[in-house]
Amino acid sequence: MTDRHSANRSAPAPRSAEEPARLSPPAGRSPLLVAITGATGATYGLTLVRRALEAGVPVRLTFTNAARRVVPGETGKTVEEWSQEFAAVAEASEAAAEAASPTAAGPGSGAPPEPETRKAPLFALDDVADIGAPGASGSFRARGMVIAPCSMGTLARVAQGVSGNLVEREADVCLKERRPLVLLAREAPLSAIHLRNMLAVTEAGAIVLPPVPAFYARPRTVEELVGHTVDRALDLLGISPAGAFRWGAEFPGAAATEPIQ
């Protein structure tokens, strides 16, 4: 007896040669969501994106509207220029990984082609107004999210579950899906409202990581100060960047150079 529901189902249409292949994250590597807001300290987010890409971690980056004004003032480069630079870093990282891979398929390797799936790009830039971007859905397998720096306005909206743009929605998704959410909350001094919001997001599962400099690593430059905090943030997401300072390990050149005075 034929099931009346199955009788109405039609077989999937065959894929045409012209139809684009599906995008998929590189095997075993879920994308990291990164957001840069309008708080001062854009260099934290920018440095984090570069180090993640250099480590071969796919990144989807979003700038808030305020960040688009702050970034040029703090770095001398527009958001578009930074995006082009990150795309170049991603391309170089992918090329290096493919060259080092012993299983890379080449002419005469005998490896079967995979026409159904191709790698998603290592770097992607999302529009803050695009609430239909991949990270806005819990079904998108992101490895977590970092907001660096995180303004007090963004912190407040995340703490209250307000999803007015892509950044806030991605943060909300990470909380509900129990994925890592690291907030480099940047403000000083802090009001009672700021502290309550930090407590609220912490209780919801986020990690508040204020970008407070650590001097035990004897940093010699501002870049090293920033890099140490960025490495700590990546550690919280299970990413171990090369050259990260570890307590108990020798810091290259520290004994031969003077720290920042």
> Can you tell me the distance from the alpha carbon of 54 to that of 191, in angstroms, rounded to the nearest whole number?
37
Helix (H) or strand (E) holding 167: helix 166-176
CB atoms within 10 A of CB 224: 17
Do residues 22 and 134 lie in contact, with contact meaning Cβ atoms separated by under 8 Å? Answer: no
Please determine, for residue 2, whether its predicted confidence score (pLDDT) is greater than 70.
Answer: no
Mean pLDDT computed over 63-80: 97
Please determine, for residue 261, whether its predicted confidence score (pLDDT) is greater than 70.
Answer: no
Q: What is the mean pLDDT of the chain?
A: 85
Radius of gyration for the chain, computed over Cα atoms and rounded to the nearest angstrom = 21
- Ranges 2-16, 18-32, 165-179: which has the least confidence: 2-16
Mean pLDDT computed over 169-185: 98
| Beta-strand pair 181-185/207-208 | parallel
pLDDT confidence of residue 98? 84
User: 15-24, 105-114, 119-128 — which one is most confidently predicted on average?
Assistant: 119-128
| Beta-strand pair 181-185/144-150 | parallel
DSSP state of 136: G
Mean pLDDT computed over 209-218: 92
pLDDT confidence of residue 241? 81
Q: Helix (H, G, I), strand (E, B), or coil: what is residue 145? A: strand
User: What is the maximum span of the chain, computed from C-alpha positions, in angstroms?
Assistant: 85
Burial (CB count within 10 angstroms: exposed 0-12, middle 13-18, buried 19+), residue 30 = middle
> Can you tell me the distance from the alpha carbon of 59 to that of 40, in angstroms, rounded to the nearest whole number?
22
Q: Which pTM does this prediction carry?
A: 0.81
> Can you tell me the distance from the alpha carbon of 74 to that of 54, in angstroms, rounded to the nearest whole number?
23
Mean pLDDT computed over 67-79: 97
> Can you tell me the distance from the alpha carbon of 197 to that of 192, in angstroms, rounded to the nearest whole number?
9
Residue scoring higher pLDDT (21 or 173): 173
Q: How far is CA 168 from CA 23, 91, 238, in A?
A: 25, 29, 22
Distance between first and last Cα of the chain: 85
- Ranges 41-50, 141-150, 182-191, 212-221: which has the least confidence: 212-221
Strand ranges in 47-116 using DSSP code E only, listed in sequence order:
59-63
pLDDT digits (tens, 9 = 90+) for 232-249: 999 999 998 888 888 877
Mean pLDDT computed over 112-116: 44
> Can you tell me the distance from the alpha carbon of 234 to that of 210, in angstroms, rounded to the nearest whole number?
14
pLDDT confidence of residue 7? 44
> Which tokens go with 185?
């909350």
pLDDT bracket for residue 16 (50, 70, 90): very low
> Can you tell me the distance from the alpha carbon of 92 to that of 97, in angstroms, rounded to the nearest whole number?
9
The superfamily CATH assigns to domain 28-94+119-235 is: Flavin prenyltransferase-like (3.40.50.1950)
Q: Helix (H, G, I), strand (E, B), or coil: what is residue 38? A: coil
pLDDT confidence of residue 193? 98
> Can you tell me the distance from the alpha carbon of 219 to that of 212, in angstroms, rounded to the nearest whole number?
13
pLDDT digits (tens, 9 = 90+) for 20-50: 333 444 445 799 999 999 999 999 999 999 9
